[in-house]
Amino acid sequence: MTTHQLTTAIATTLTKNFPNIPVHPANGGTTPASDAKGIIYRLLSAQLTRERSDRFVQSHAFEIRWLDASNIPDTLPDELLEALETINIEGTPYRATDLRWETEGTTPRMLVYYTMRTIKVSESVPAMQQLEQRPTAIKAAKE
């Protein structure tokens, strides 16, 4: 699974679960426009760490912000938690390892962390192969 696939799945999940609320990726700035409404999402970090020669850990952290701090629906934290707890990527469910709702600052946000372990699969090559031995006909030279 790639970071792009995960980001797309989060956008799709938010759009599906909040059909009447605008959902947008965060632009490069950290401060949204003062008149903005809806939900923005952004990737905070992505890491790939090697545990062993064939095992890796992928860690992704996302920030989901509700832009209208003066009008936060009472059920928003629970609805975001329910929507993002398990997301579907190409038929495979991925469960968040941590979800946190923070209200520090002017706009509340939810931090969502997804961690996956992956194993590098190498091509299987047979350890031994059979050799075929055929008798070769040798013609004796006539003298």
Backbone phi, psi, residue 84, to 5°? -100, -5
* Antiparallel, parallel or unpaired: β 23-25 and 39-50: parallel
Give the count of alpha carbons within 13 A of 37, CB side only: 7
Q: Mean pLDDT for each 10-residue chunk of the chain (143 residues)? A: 88 92 78 69 90 85 85 85 91 90 78 86 68 66 55
pLDDT at 8: 92
Chain centroid offset of residue 55 CA = 17
pLDDT at 127: 67
What CA–CA distance (Å, rounded) separates 117 from 100?
22
What residue has token string 């989901």? Answer: 64
pLDDT at 43: 93
What CA–CA distance (Å, rounded) separates 55 from 97?
19
Give the count of alpha carbons within 13 A of 32, CB side only: 22
Helix (H, G, I), strand (E, B) or coil at 99: strand
Least Cα distance to 37 among 69, 73, 14 occurs for 69
pLDDT at 48: 85
Structural domain spans, the chain: 3-119
Structure tokens belonging to residue 108: 């509340």
What CA–CA distance (Å, rounded) separates 26 from 32?
8
Tell the CATH superfamily of the 3-119 domain: Phage tail protein-like (3.30.2000.10)
pLDDT at 55: 85
